Chains A and B, each alone.
Chain A
Amino acid sequence: GENVEQHPSTLSVQEGDSAVIKCTYSDSASNYFPWYKQELGKRPQLIIDIRSNVGEKKDQRIAVTLNKTAKHFSLHITETQPEDSAVYFCAASAGYGQNFVFGPGTRLSVLP
C-alpha cells in the first residue's frame, strides 16, 4: 500500500522567512496530493492541493510543487507569519474510494 514520508518533523523559522516541507510517496498510482494545516485542538484544514497533471500550484503565500518521477511533493510558505504556526500534514490518494494516506506531520513554529 501507499506510504507517505514527511520531513522535517519540526521546523522553526523567523517571521518573514520561507518554510519548505517535503513529502515522498511510494505508490505511483497516487494522483492527488493535498496539504492540511492543523492548529492546536482544531480540525485539519485544507490549505492547498495539487493533481498529478500539474507540476506547480500557487495561492498567495503558499505554493506546492510535484515531481512525479521522483515521487515527491513539497509545500512552500513565503513571508511566514506567526499565525502560520501549526502542524502541517501532506497526504496522497490514488483515486477511487479516496483513501488518503497522511504523512506524520511537520510542526512549524514561526518566531516573531
Chain B
Amino acid sequence: DAGVTQSPTHLIKTRGQQVTLRCSPKSGHDTVSWYQQALGQGPQFIFQYYEEEERQRGNFPDRFSGHQFPNYSSELNVNALLLGDSALYLCASSLDGGPVYNSPLHFGNGTRLTVT
C-alpha cells in the first residue's frame, strides 16, 4: 500500500519563475492538504482540497494555487517565485471524517524548493 508520494524531490528555480509540485495521496484517502515548512520551523498550512475544490486556505498569497484531480491527486502551483518561497513543501493526505471527526494527516517526503 503506497503512502503519499510527491514529485519532484528537489527543485531549483530562479526568482520570478513558476513551479508546479505534484502529490498522490495514500490509497483510500480523498483529501489533500499542502504545507510549507521553512528551515527550523513547523509546517504552515497553505490550503486543502476535497472533492476537487479548495475547501480551506491559510494565510498565503494568490501566487499559491492548486488543483485536485478526480483520482484525488493534487498539484501546487506557485507563480512569480520569491527568494522567501524557498522551503520544503509537504503534501498530506487524509480521509474526510465530516464536520466533527478529524483524521490524522499522512505526509509525503516533500519537495525541497530552492529559489535563487
Chain B residues within 8 Å of A, Cβ to Cβ: 4, 31, 33, 35, 40-45, 48, 50, 55-56, 58, 90, 94, 96-110
| Interface of B, helix, strand, loop or mixed by DSSP | loop
- The residue among A4, A6, A32 with the most chain B CB atoms within 10 A of its own CB is A32
Can you identify 11 A-B contacts, CB atoms within 8 angstroms?
A: A34-B104, A43-B90, A44-B43, A95-B102, A96-B98, A98-B48, A99-B45, A100-B33, A101-B45, A102-B35, A105-B40
Chain A residues within 8 Å of B, Cβ to Cβ: 4, 6, 31-32, 34, 36, 42-46, 49, 51, 89, 91, 93, 95-105
| Complex contacts, A51 vs chain B, CB 8 Å | 102
| Complex contacts, B50 vs chain A, CB 8 Å | 97
Measured in the bound complex, the distance between the Cα atoms of B58 and A1 in whole Å is 10
Instruction: Report which of A42, A95, A100 forms a contact with B45, defined as CB distance below 8 A.
Output: A100
Closest to B48 in A: A97
Does the CB pair A43–B103 fall under 8 Å? no
Q: A46-B105, A95-B102 are in contact. List 6 more A-B contacts (CB 8 A).
A: A43-B109, A89-B42, A96-B98, A97-B55, A98-B96, A100-B105
Measured in the bound complex, the distance between the Cα atoms of B108 and A42 in whole Å is 9
| Complex contacts, A95 vs chain B, CB 8 Å | 99-102
Does the CB pair A103–B42 fall under 8 Å? yes
Does the CB pair A44–B98 fall under 8 Å? no
Min CB gap A67→B, angstroms: 19
Does the CB pair B42–A42 fall under 8 Å? no
Given contacts A44-B43, A98-B31, is CB(A32)–CB(B102) below 8 Å?
Answer: yes
| Complex contacts, B33 vs chain A, CB 8 Å | 98-100
Measured in the bound complex, the distance between the Cα atoms of B107 and A97 in whole Å is 16
Min CB gap B31→A, angstroms: 7
Measured in the bound complex, the distance between the Cα atoms of B103 and A31 in whole Å is 11
Q: Which 9 A-B pairs have the closest CB atoms?
A: A102-B42, A32-B102, A97-B56, A43-B107, A96-B99, A43-B109, A44-B107, A93-B102, A102-B43
